[in-house]
Structure 1
């Protein structure tokens, strides 16, 4: 099991909606989360912490729904730090997101390929 993924979440999703739909959802997530992560970097640079928190919340949810455990966890940390007033502490985390997302999506796509 990849440490990037929550296979239990993915298995449940496949049982509920089928592997083909999960594959489609992963394609959609690739575009949406990629745009979101890029926007999060811009928001951090601009100091727009409330908007950054909102983006982190959405990324946490969408990545978690599709089993991208590490991405969801990192987004949750960003959201929590911004809620608790630890905004500067997110500066080293946000730049990690593009690679984590890429790795998570690669692992999820490899996983779903075995279910089709």
Structure 2
């Protein structure tokens, strides 16, 4: 499906243009933010019933943007994949604690304390 020319045609948006081989190409969409937001809500909810409702809402929103020709089909299909990858990566970073070690190293560097690598391994 091709989106209508009247929809998503606001000029000046950075994501609408792509520089490739020295030429600008007009790009009208990326993955669906509508669908990805609903899918992110689905991923974040703990309750099984709420998850089911959010998944149904995701499917409805994805269907509606396709029916309205707001996004290409691949944009709607790719949205849950991109969302899941970002969710997984964010969760891994948050649970790994590597940022604590980096923060400790920067804090000690500002104070002038030499950071020993064994201190970072303890974290």
| TM-score, structure 1 as length reference | 0.36
| TM-score, structure 2 as length reference | 0.34
Task: Looking at secondary structure, tell me which structure has more strand per residue.
Answer: 2
Pick the structure with greater CA Rg: 2
Higher RCO (CA-CA < 8 Å; seq separation 6+): 1
Task: Looking at secondary structure, tell me which structure has more helix per residue.
Answer: 1
